[in-house]
Amino acid sequence: MSVANEVQAWHATSLPAYSPTPKRKRREHALKNKNPNSYQKTISLQLYSKFSSLSIIFLRNSMMQTKIEAGELLKTINYPEDLRKLPEEKLLQISEELRQYIIDIVSVYGGHFGASLGVTELTVALHYVFNTPYDELVWDVGHQAYGHKILTGRREVFHTNRLYKGISGFPKRKESKYDSFGVGHSSTSISAALGMAIASRLKGIQDKHHIAVIGDGAMTAGMAFEAMNHAGVDKANLLIILNDNCMSIDPNVGALKEYLTDLTTSKWYNKFRDDLWDLLGKMGKIPQKIASKIEDGLKSSILKPGMLFEALGLRYFGPIDGHNIHTLVHTLRDLKNIPGPKLLHVVTVKGKGFAPAEKEQTKWHAQSSPFDKITGQSFAKKTDKPQPPKYQDVFGHTLVELAKANNKIVGITPAMPSGCSMNIMMKEIPERAFDVGICEQHAVTLSAGLATQGMIPFCNIYSSFMQRAYDQVIHDVAIQELPVIFCLDRAGVVGADGPTHHGCYDIAYFRCIPNMIIASPMNEQELRNLMYTATLNEKNAFVIRYPRGEGVMIDWKTPFEKIQIGKGRTIQEGEEIAVLTIGHIGNYVTTIQPELQENNIYIGHYDMRFVKPIDEELMHHICQKYDKIITIEDGSLMGGFGSAVLEFIADNRYKNTVKRLGIPDKVIEHGTQLELHKEMGFAPEQILETIKTMKLVEIIS
């Protein structure tokens, strides 16, 4: 059967059976299925990671031949106004069709997955009960907003989700008036919705609702608590919906998670409440009202659910079943009439309705390659040929190697154990590896504290999430000259996640801070050696930035060698033009060398390895030998590596002509890494063109 026919066949099949987890067992189910050490290999969608990605793109292209149709009822819903015209009985069907449509599209085009499936009923209920977009609905992180996008005018373009020039994978203000706040990073929703609520009050608007939907993972961040601390005294009209599925990307961690689990697994209380409710429901509304009062009394006198939130000045409601559309609709309607700040605790299952995703929730947080929408089996072709590893895995394995040899080494990750491969150390040396929740600021200062005691902390934070902890790096690490090692994963453009996640700015924002070493490896061996070198350094913060995706070496487990700090590497001496690169992007230059030589162009190529301190000796050599210099970086041009080169040239009164290639001063949207590099003018062909043009200018002049 051809791929297109196979796709047609899948699309003809009906909704996969929901796993019948009984209400009371749902939370235990979620808890049972979490595996803090699960080490999964997903297939990267990087174009320049050669084989695997090309096969995914080929496969996806053939699958795209078939148009994916939404269900009969969902097809009639273009905007929430259409939804609100339906009788409540139809909401279950809409939820099922919405869930199926998300499964159908993501199984071909990839994207975030489990989180949207988990909030399908909640999404329908919110748009049904509230008057969006007049009422402001703010999704936290936004990876769970696929249902929201489909119901708010983007059903027909949803298949372009996360693709180059397609719609964004996250809510985005420019994209739709229903996306009241742009997101991507977590834990901003309560502050943003509170700001909207205060603005309404100041403008004298009384009939507007402001709703923040935040997950239990995002709730672990300090910022969420800063916002609740304010909301509790401000008394603005704010509804916080806590979507509690026990999961972050990996299983959620920390005392707050334990507290929420206690709230939702008070079995005897929940059973008592449900039985009483059902019994009284049969007798009519008045007995149920009495039951509510009894329940309130019970809550406050014995269990004190939500005490934490109540203490912060928020009225706490719940926990309620987030997959019961009618419970959701009725509860939200009731809450509409309760003014002031309040929190509704909704319990959901991440991946709901797609059995493999319910079972392996971390793996199904997101999918980049097409998969069978019934079994979940990946369609990505496996190759027998050995492939270079992902940089994140080189980090993870190397850290364990170093930590086994040196018991002062500790690992810290803010909620990204499988994303950055810290889960390898969490499995092998659990007592020295910490997932601290979505708390980048805490991760940095915790590392600083560890360093004061002679420990050697490897604090791994994605480049874009590190933006959260800027002051901590300056105040708690750099000024105090503490030797914290920062490994910045996902440095450079990251691809489909887009502007909120691109790691564009780290070189620029760290370069101006004293006492910082900033390095970037061009390959796996350099990453290992930089990590090793960093453990020998006792004074400065040591930043090692590397990109998303695979490196270039098959045999990468080479013996450790100390690299002299501030020393670059000459890949090739040349005659005419010097190309200076920092990090993995240098491999683009290596790939075009044969073509350059065929054209009798002999460039010098230098892998500078350190942005700070820059290799001054090598820089003097380059500036004296070559008239023309090209710098290439997968980072912002403004204040970046090329700027460092220009500063050196100016400070030393050289007169070289410099062309800088890198990320320009504008927001870079989503697409594959290669598409974006092309757009910005530093994909291999364009580097080739730039060099040829420079050469031509030399000949003419």
Considering beta carbons, is residue 447 or 581 the nearer one to ligand TPP? 447
**Are 238 and 197 contacting, i.e. CB atoms less than 8 angstroms apart?**
yes
Q: Please identify which of the residues 154, 257, 350, 490 carries the catalytic annotation.
A: 350
x/- map, 465-494, ligand TPP, by CB under 6 A: x--x--------------------------
x/- map, 144-173, ligand TPP, by CB under 6 A: x-----------------------------
Considering beta carbons, is residue 26 or 468 the nearer one to ligand TPP? 468
- Nearest Cα to Cα of residue 147 among 418, 294, 348: 348
Bin 600: left if φ > 0, else alpha if -120 < ψ < 50, else beta.
Answer: left
Listed ranges 101-109, 137-145, 379-387, 669-677: which one lies at the site for ligand TPP (CB under 6 A): 137-145
Listed ranges 67-75, 243-251, 475-483, 591-599: which one lies at the site for ligand TPP (CB under 6 A): 243-251
DSSP assignment of 588-629, as one string?
Answer: HHHHHHHHHHHTT---EEEE--EEES--HHHHHHHHHH-SEE
Task: Report the relative pairing of strands 111-112 and 366-367 from DSSP bridges.
Answer: antiparallel
**Are 345 and 338 contacting, i.e. CB atoms less than 8 angstroms apart?**
no
Number of H helices, E strands in the chain: 29, 19
Per-residue tokens: 309: 């939130």
C-alpha to C-alpha distance for 640 and 512, rounded to whole angstroms: 10
Per-residue tokens: 505: 């700015």
Per-residue tokens: 152: 């708010």
- Measured CA to CA in angstroms, residue 329 lies from 116, 127, 284, 334, 458 at distances of 18, 10, 19, 9, 47
Is 440 part of the annotated catalytic residue set? yes
Question: Per rule CB under 6 A, is residue 249 in the interface with ligand TPP?
Answer: yes
Q: Minimal distance in Å, beta carbon 460 to ligand TPP?
A: 12
**Are 210 and 200 contacting, i.e. CB atoms less than 8 angstroms apart?**
yes
The residue count of the chain comes to: 701
Considering beta carbons, is residue 346 or 637 the nearer one to ligand TPP? 346
Considering beta carbons, is residue 314 or 579 the nearer one to ligand TPP? 314
C-alpha to C-alpha distance for 220 and 218, rounded to whole angstroms: 5
Q: Minimal distance in Å, beta carbon 256 to ligand TPP?
A: 11
| CA 120 centroid distance within chain | 20
Is 156 part of the annotated catalytic residue set? no
Q: Minimal distance in Å, beta carbon 116 to ligand TPP?
A: 9
Q: What residues between 190 and 219 interact with ligand TPP by CB under 6 A?
A: 215-218
Q: Minimal distance in Å, beta carbon 246 to ligand TPP?
A: 8
Listed ranges 35-43, 242-250, 285-293, 392-400: which one lies at the site for ligand TPP (CB under 6 A): 242-250
Q: Minimal distance in Å, beta carbon 590 to ligand TPP?
A: 32
The one-character DSSP state at 398 is H
Considering beta carbons, is residue 476 or 633 the nearer one to ligand TPP? 476
Packing angle, helices 51-63 and 91-109, rounded to 10: 130
The sign of the dihedral angle between the CA atoms of 624, 627, 631, 637 is positive
x/- map, 99-118, ligand TPP, by CB under 6 A: ----------------x--x
Is 203 part of the annotated catalytic residue set? no
Considering beta carbons, is residue 466 or 522 the nearer one to ligand TPP? 466
Considering beta carbons, is residue 216 or 634 the nearer one to ligand TPP? 216
C-alpha to C-alpha distance for 476 and 442, rounded to whole angstroms: 11
Q: Which of 103, 137, 415, 694 binds ligand TPP (CB under 6 A)?
A: 415
- Interior/surface letters 577-601, b for 16+ CB within 10 angstroms, e for the rest: bbbbbbbbbbbbbbebbeebeeeeb
Q: Minimal distance in Å, beta carbon 584 to ligand TPP?
A: 22
Q: Minimal distance in Å, beta carbon 185 to ligand TPP?
A: 4
Q: Minimal distance in Å, beta carbon 462 to ligand TPP?
A: 7
Question: Per rule CB under 6 A, is residue 245 in the interface with ligand TPP?
Answer: yes
Considering beta carbons, is residue 219 or 674 the nearer one to ligand TPP? 219
Q: Minimal distance in Å, beta carbon 243 to ligand TPP?
A: 6
Considering beta carbons, is residue 250 or 524 the nearer one to ligand TPP? 250
Question: Per rule CB under 6 A, is residue 323 in the interface with ligand TPP?
Answer: no
C-alpha to C-alpha distance for 110 and 98, rounded to whole angstroms: 16
x/- map, 8-47, ligand TPP, by CB under 6 A: ----------------------------------------
Q: Minimal distance in Å, beta carbon 438 to ligand TPP?
A: 5
DSSP assignment of 244-293, as one string?
Answer: E-SBSSSB--SHHHHHHHHHH--HHHHHHHHHHHHHHHTT-HHHHHHHHH
Q: Minimal distance in Å, beta carbon 193 to ligand TPP?
A: 15
- Nearest Cα to Cα of residue 511 among 619, 643, 615, 618: 643
- Nearest Cα to Cα of residue 632 among 673, 571, 574, 690: 690
Listed ranges 71-79, 239-247, 505-513, 545-553: which one lies at the site for ligand TPP (CB under 6 A): 239-247
Question: Per rule CB under 6 A, is residue 143 in the interface with ligand TPP?
Answer: yes
Listed ranges 153-161, 196-204, 247-255, 368-376: which one lies at the site for ligand TPP (CB under 6 A): 247-255
Listed ranges 140-148, 588-596, 642-650, 659-667: which one lies at the site for ligand TPP (CB under 6 A): 140-148
Q: Please identify which of the residues 96, 295, 358, 440 carries the catalytic annotation.
A: 440
- Tell the residue number behind the tokens 């796996």, with chain if given: 524
Spatial neighbors of 102 by CB under 8 A, at least 6 apart, are 113, 116, 117, 120, 146, 147, 150
Q: Is 297 exposed, middle or buried (0-12, 13-18, 19+ CB in 10 A)?
A: exposed
Question: Per rule CB under 6 A, is residue 380 in the interface with ligand TPP?
Answer: no
Q: Minimal distance in Å, beta carbon 239 to ligand TPP?
A: 17
C-alpha to C-alpha distance for 614 and 596, rounded to whole angstroms: 27
Q: Which of 124, 394, 438, 580 binds ligand TPP (CB under 6 A)?
A: 438
Q: Which of 7, 125, 129, 141 binds ligand TPP (CB under 6 A)?
A: 141
Considering beta carbons, is residue 111 or 604 the nearer one to ligand TPP? 111
> 346: helix, coil or strand?
strand
Give the other-Cβ count within 10 Å of 384's Cβ: 4
Q: Minimal distance in Å, beta carbon 500 to ligand TPP?
A: 8
Considering beta carbons, is residue 501 or 677 the nearer one to ligand TPP? 501
User: What's the number of CA atoms in the CB half-sphere (13 Å) around residue 147?
Assistant: 27
Question: Per rule CB under 6 A, is residue 350 in the interface with ligand TPP?
Answer: yes
**Are 228 and 174 contacting, i.e. CB atoms less than 8 angstroms apart?**
no
**Are 216 and 243 contacting, i.e. CB atoms less than 8 angstroms apart?**
yes
Type of residue found at 273: R
**Are 404 and 383 contacting, i.e. CB atoms less than 8 angstroms apart?**
no
- Nearest Cα to Cα of residue 216 among 149, 135, 120, 141: 141
Listed ranges 141-149, 476-484, 615-623, 657-665: which one lies at the site for ligand TPP (CB under 6 A): 141-149
Considering beta carbons, is residue 438 or 527 the nearer one to ligand TPP? 438
Q: Please identify which of the residues 99, 154, 373, 468 carries the catalytic annotation.
A: 468
User: What's the number of CA atoms in the CB half-sphere (13 Å) around residue 668?
Assistant: 30
Q: Tell me the site size for ligand TPP, rule CB under 6 A.
A: 21
Considering beta carbons, is residue 188 or 540 the nearer one to ligand TPP? 188
Active site residues: 350, 440, 468
Binding interface with ligand TPP (CB under 6 A):
115, 118, 141, 143-144, 185-186, 215-218, 243, 245, 247-249, 350, 415, 438, 465, 468
